[in-house]
Structure 1
Amino acid sequence: MAGSTTAERGERQEPRTGPPRPPGPRLTRPRLLLLVLVVLLLLTGFAIWALYGSSWLRAEKSSVRGTRVLTPAQVREAADLPIGSPLISVDTDAVEARLRKKLPRIDLVDVSRSWPHTISVELTERKAVLLVRKDGRYTEVDAEGVRFAELDRAPEGIPVLELATADSPSLRRFPVSRLVREAVRVAGRLPDPVARETRLLKASSYDDFSLELSGGRSVEWGSSEKSAAKARTLTALLKAAPKARHFDVSVPTAPATSRS
């Protein structure tokens, strides 16, 4: 079969009219990098202005959570929060340090930014396990031995430490400060229901602690060793012998009770 003629091939080709079109503009690599840099600078400048210069992200209010004895107003006053400042500029570590210094009742505290306008303060207050009486005032002591508040009156539900060591020869080896630490160990192990029933925690010597409960009941505790086991034993005895007047848990594996 004969191939197509030159005339036939020419008929299938589209005619070219007009001058040739110039190639479109192309971004060279340096120009592209420059454009990207300009965009980044603009975005960075806008972000800095939004964070520091605008009113969009300023500290306008505060949130305080976790107070028990303290009030939110006391926390805000001690924190000296920079309301009205850019939220990004709030020094949360400095706020935490002020709270710990001015309010020793605070055990744990976390200050954070809650965008777009709130400074959040979340805290945990210390819990007193013992009261130390001196000159008619009471000092609250937590389970770590930290003295954090002084009161004119003893609050209910917290044992008061009574030192009965005047004639104890053990003071030469175990001074009063050591006895107070050991008393804190004992009080810190008392379950809340037992602590609320405990009026006095007497310390006669290093190995002679006793409790006075409500209703004229008493507990021979012994030393501060094995206080967790003694607390569990006492809790069980209080339920098993509700009419008993005296409890001895100095040896927690061999406790004793009596009605007199």
Structure 2
Amino acid sequence: MKFPETSSPDGRPKTGAVDFDAELHLHNRAFHRACAIASHERVLDIGCGAGQTTRDAARTAAAGSALGIDPLAPAIASARELAAAQGLGNVRFEQGDAQTYPFPARGFDVAISRFGTMFFASPIAAFRNIRSALTDDGRLVMMVWQAREANEWSTAVHGAQAQSTAAFSLADPATAERILDAAGFADASFQDVHEPVYYGDSVGAALEWIGQFQATKQVLQSLDAEAAERERARLREIVAGHYRDGGVWFDSRAWIVSARCR
């Protein structure tokens, strides 16, 4: 899978194709502001995907550096290509799982993540490993989804057939705070982000994007041919009903969670 750069002025792709960065371009603005990265800081980006958030961090940390880590090799390959094309010399990318990756002790001032921390098999162990990579006065800033019922992209698109709730594992502030406390973080705060996700400039583009979701594939594979066709028709109707302002949009709610090391 390719992870192309989205380069139109508002963050949407110039063609009908959609990628994760385009989907989240409104969220990304709020997230980058909340990270408040200083020019000298060393930034660790967890679950960086194709590296948009890492490159944003590297540009802001002009006298510092940024490392992006992601378990998907194609994402890392694209991230490296895009950073090289943009001439960023203070950024690098590594394939790996943040839960077990051998980060240098106290090698970073801030850890960031845009929807990259909800899928850890052992979240406390993962956040402890991230904490060990931060300086004693370091901090964590991450964006996670709020509860499923607050996210129309899940309730409307996947409906009652959704088979996984992993994307919402940090939705409950009390749960997230308890995990972070056990991992060595303190003073967690939760900023509400209420922005729609963008699924493309046409019904066809949105259906193509939705068709790449693991949840969509799981549902369609579990159905017989006739039921699968009904599900595709349902998706087309749902998507068509969400076309407005030159694109397909679904409501969403997220948290920006900030915490300090202790």
Q: TM-score, normalised by structure 1?
A: 0.19
Structure with larger Rg:
1
Q: TM-score, normalised by structure 2?
A: 0.19
Q: Higher RCO, 1 or 2 (CA under 8 Å, sep at least 6)?
A: 2
